[in-house]
Amino acid sequence: MEQAVNISVIIPVYNTEKYLMQCVTSLANQDLNMEIIIVDDGSTDSSGWIADELALADNRIKVIHQANKGLSAARNRGMDAAHGEYIFFLDSDDWIKDRSLDCLYALASKHNADIINGNAINVYPNGQTETARGQIAVETVNVPLSGKQCFVELTKSSAYVPMVYCNLYRREYLQRRHFRFDETLRISEDELWTPVIMSSAPKAIISNYGFYCYRQLRIDSLTGSTSAIKRSMALFYITDRLMKYAEGFSFGDDNIDFKSWLYVLIFKLYTYAFSYFTTNRNSSYTLPPHHLGCWEQVSQHVPEQPKNRIENYYRQSTRLIEQYEKWLHSESAMKNATENRKTVLIFNHRRGYELTIPSEEIHP
């Protein structure tokens, strides 16, 4: 009789030929019954070939090749193919510690949990390491919590890490709630997925176990790059979605803590969004709509501790908006707009017909 699959490990791959071997081989020293689903998302290097070679050597590995659709689509494709009791997402340029999934699965099984939240280790090019988050209150570790309690405790302790790879997810839970990654997002996907999936879980466990080795590849900052504006625009989209999610909860006794700390996260993301937008000034982009104005309406309902944090993020965001609007009306902004303007000539003239473009839309 075939053994049940304990964990489905989903590895989205895009042009990571240098790291894929280490990533997959880090799964070798796990004792549980698992399947490894590699989704080659249209790689143009040898990543797809390496994945196929690894599959030939290990019958637990299944490789899916698809045209490039982005990380969210690759993860969704992996979930569709998964059969495991739990799902774990592993980025193809990272790796995990020996037998770490054994430990997390044992904890999940013991408590029949929907989500197990672990810790990550940031690994830098010079060999230095640090944990992604600090320790949290001992009374909240390795004990059953609701998903909302889990989110609150992590956020309150400044230990909340949005990265999807920090968690083990019960597949039945994800299927029952029809959870999917938003494929319109090509960047910052985890910022939307994690708070919703975590807070919706009936039962969650927080573990301080640092098991995930996150390779710090990016030595260049987003500052000054086009990707900073793209990340900013993604964050505006994410904060809008999270704000709508927050509106589904009242400030009643059962939800006041969760809703308040969710606002902390939302306003924190706003500081990032406005910071990227303000630092990388480009008048070609229009500042998107936002929900900062709602704070005056809801602040009276929020307890003191989360209220103080939100007010700090609110002040930072409004200051950044003022800086951007001041720049937008300056001479340097006008120069920036001129330098970034593109002229498109449209010809729709046919013999015997007048040009139909209105004259006010024709520019030299």
> What is the residue-averaged pLDDT of the chain?
89
What sign for the dihedral angle of Cα 247, 251, 254, 258? positive
Task: Please report, for residues 344, 353, 355, 356, 361, the alpha-carbon distance to residue 350 in angstroms, rounded to integers and kept in the order given.
Answer: 19, 5, 8, 10, 19
The tokens for 112 are: 């029949």
**Closest to 54 measured CA to CA, from 5, 111, 16, 2:** 16
Backbone angles phi, psi at 123, to 5 degrees: -115, 120
Residue 253: per-residue pLDDT: 77
Enumerate residues 6+ apart whose C-beta is below 8 A from 249.
Answer: 255, 258, 259, 262
Question: Mean pLDDT over residues 295-315, rounded?
Answer: 95
Q: What is the pTM of this model?
A: 0.88
Radius of gyration of the chain (CA): 24
Look at residue 173 and tell me whether its pLDDT is greater than 90: yes
User: What domains can be seen in the chain, in order of their start residue?
Assistant: 7-215 (3.90.550.10), 227-339 (no CATH)
pLDDT band at 331 (very low <50, low <70, confident <90, very high): low
Mode of pairing for the β-strands spanning 95-96 and 86-89:
unpaired
**Closest to 245 measured CA to CA, from 257, 259, 264, 231:** 259
Task: Note the pLDDT tens digit of each residue in 44-95.
Answer: 999 999 999 999 999 999 999 999 999 999 999 999 999 999 999 999 999 9
Question: Mean pLDDT over residues 175-193, rounded?
Answer: 96
Question: Mean pLDDT over residues 309-325, rounded?
Answer: 94
User: In percent, how much of the chain has pLDDT > 70?
Assistant: 88
Decide: 68 and 41 in contact? Cβ < 8 Å: yes
Look at residue 286 and tell me whether its pLDDT is greater than 90: no
Task: Note the pLDDT tens digit of each residue in 139-165.
Answer: 999 999 999 999 999 999 999 999 999
What sign for the dihedral angle of Cα 322, 325, 327, 331? negative
User: In percent, how much of the chain has pLDDT > 90?
Assistant: 74
Residue 280: per-residue pLDDT: 79
Decide: 104 and 204 in contact? Cβ < 8 Å: no
Task: Please report, for residues 119, 142, 206, 281, the alpha-carbon distance to residue 136 in angstroms, rounded to integers and kept in the order given.
Answer: 11, 11, 9, 38
In this structure, of 2-11, 71-80, 200-209, 275-284, the range with the lowest mean pLDDT score is 275-284
Task: Note the pLDDT tens digit of each residue in 223-269.
Answer: 335 588 889 999 999 999 999 999 999 998 789 999 999 999 999 99
